Amino acid sequence: QLSAMIRILTVARKRSKRPSNTGGMTWKRVDLHIHTPGSEDYAEKGVSYLDILRKAEEEGLDAIAFTDHNTVAGYAAMQREISDLERWVTSGRYQAKDKERLEEYRRLLNKIKVFPGFELTATLGFHILAIFEADAPIRVMEHVLLQLNVPPASLDMGLTEVGATAD
């Protein structure tokens, strides 16, 4: 029965990227398991966070979650880049490409909701996704990782395996 439902949803998705509004509710396209350069095994060399957002837009996604391995370093790096660009533009110490990059971030983030999170390595090698509210502070998420026994020295490394961190 589940496989029949999946086939129906797959056919419906192929017919229309945006299903129609039904009963006051709307369909949203999301991908809640996206790795970034913050994970050590990220295979796409030279891809930026802005490139990831552009790809999400190209795929018609309404929301995504950055869920790097045992870290929130990728999400934090994107936030730092945006903060730096805002500071440079506000102070008038920017190059034209900086302002264009900031405008592109703003355009995409206005269109695509980005949730921070991580993929935790648990006992017996299981991986568990943790997804937080979009405005969750980086330090809070890092604190959760520490409480789940991710070694402090590994917090920014995006290691795929850090040993069993928690049951």
- What does the pLDDT look like over 2-40, one tens digit per residue? 444 444 444 444 444 555 556 778 899 999 999 999 998
Q: Enter the DSSP assignment of 130.
A: E
Angstrom distances, CA of residue 134 to CA of 21, 122, 142, 144, 166: 25, 24, 15, 16, 24
For position 5, what pLDDT does the model report?
Answer: 40
State how beta strands 63-69 and 127-131 pair. unpaired
Which residues, at least 6 apart from 157, have a Cβ–Cβ distance to it below 8 Å? 40, 70, 71, 73
pLDDT at 105 over 90: yes
pTM, two decimal places: 0.80
- 113-162 pLDDT, tens per residue? 999 999 998 877 788 999 999 999 999 999 999 998 888 888 888 887 77
The pLDDT of residue 86 is above 70: yes
Which residues does 57 contact at the CB level (< 8 Å), separation at least 6? 108, 111, 112
More confident site: 164 or 132: 132
